[in-house]
Amino acid sequence: MRVILGLILLSLIAGSLVVAQNSDEATRKLWDTAYIAPAKSKTTSRRRSGSKYRIATPSVPIDNVVPESVVGVTIWRLRPAGRADSGERIIVHDDAASREYVPERISANTKLAAGDRVRISVEAARNGYLYVIDRELYADGSLGEPYLIFPTTRTLNGDNQVSVGKLAEIPAQQDSPPFFTIKKSRPDQVAEVVSVLVTPTPLEGVQITDKAQKLTSDQVAKWEKSWSTSVGRLEMESVGQTWTKVEKDAALNTRALTATAPPPQMLFYRPSAKSTDGMFVKLRLSYRR
């Protein structure tokens, strides 16, 4: 009888450990797991050792941040795949041939050359709706017209809903082509200003069409004024990491990102923001001189 009770007790303990482990694996909290939460074990510490962030905006405090308001962004630059590459590859069908490229992470300060192929992945820590706006920046500091480049029906069929553990890629892997080609529209253009918005409800006055649509400066200014106050940025100390199968599958919705999955290259946060507030963050992708 004692032996039976002992076996039952051991089974219960083992079961609770498995449940706890699975719960930890399934939990994706960008702020806690990537930056704030201390490592609870040597295993966890090893997993996170390559995911350290530096504060890119020292003037914005990291206190009083609501974890659900954080937004993760990674910029990928594609390069031709080589035989020695171990990262996941993306296949591009060009005319009659198929070419393989390896997406690599780049920093917000990486200079881009005309013809570079880039992709953007966005991860939210809550349910909401994703929008991406692009504007040209010129040498005199002026901005071009704002264009909504996502969502469109040509990317993810216009589905711009985001949720915890889901990775949104722009363009999507199944789009043709699955990348943006960087090019200047005029000689004095110095950068692309990419704005990423995550909102709790769909934006009013925005219709999803089959192509990038022109917005008014007043629309963008209204959203920016409401949701971009005191936005801070954390950035991973290392760049050049290649695309992983976990990230590839998460964007295809074949698996959800877990606590041990690679974190975003950049984390954007806004102290004192509510979990129901919108988030408006800007990235400046500068051209190489």
Query: pTM for the whole thing?
Result: 0.84
Using only the alpha carbons of the chain, give its radius of gyration: 21
Secondary structure of residue 286 in the 3-state scheme: strand
| Residue 5 confidence (pLDDT) | 39
Most confident of the ranges 23-32, 196-205, 238-247, 249-258: 196-205
Structure token pair of residue 160: 């711009």
Output 257-262 pairs: Cβ under 8 A, ≥24 positions apart: 257/28, 257/123, 257/165, 257/166, 257/167, 258/25, 258/26, 258/27, 258/28, 258/165, 259/24, 259/25, 259/26, 259/27, 259/28, 259/29, 259/33, 260/25, 260/47, 261/28, 262/51
User: CA 257, CA 166: separation in Å to the nearest integer?
Assistant: 6
Q: Hey, what amino acid is at 106?
A: I
Distance, CA of 270 to CA of 139 (rounded, Å): 29
Digit-coded pLDDT (tens) for 120-178: 999 999 999 999 999 999 999 999 999 999 999 888 888 999 998 899 999 988 888 89
Q: Which of 183, 158, 184 is nearest to 171 (CA)?
A: 158
pLDDT of the residue at 35: 59
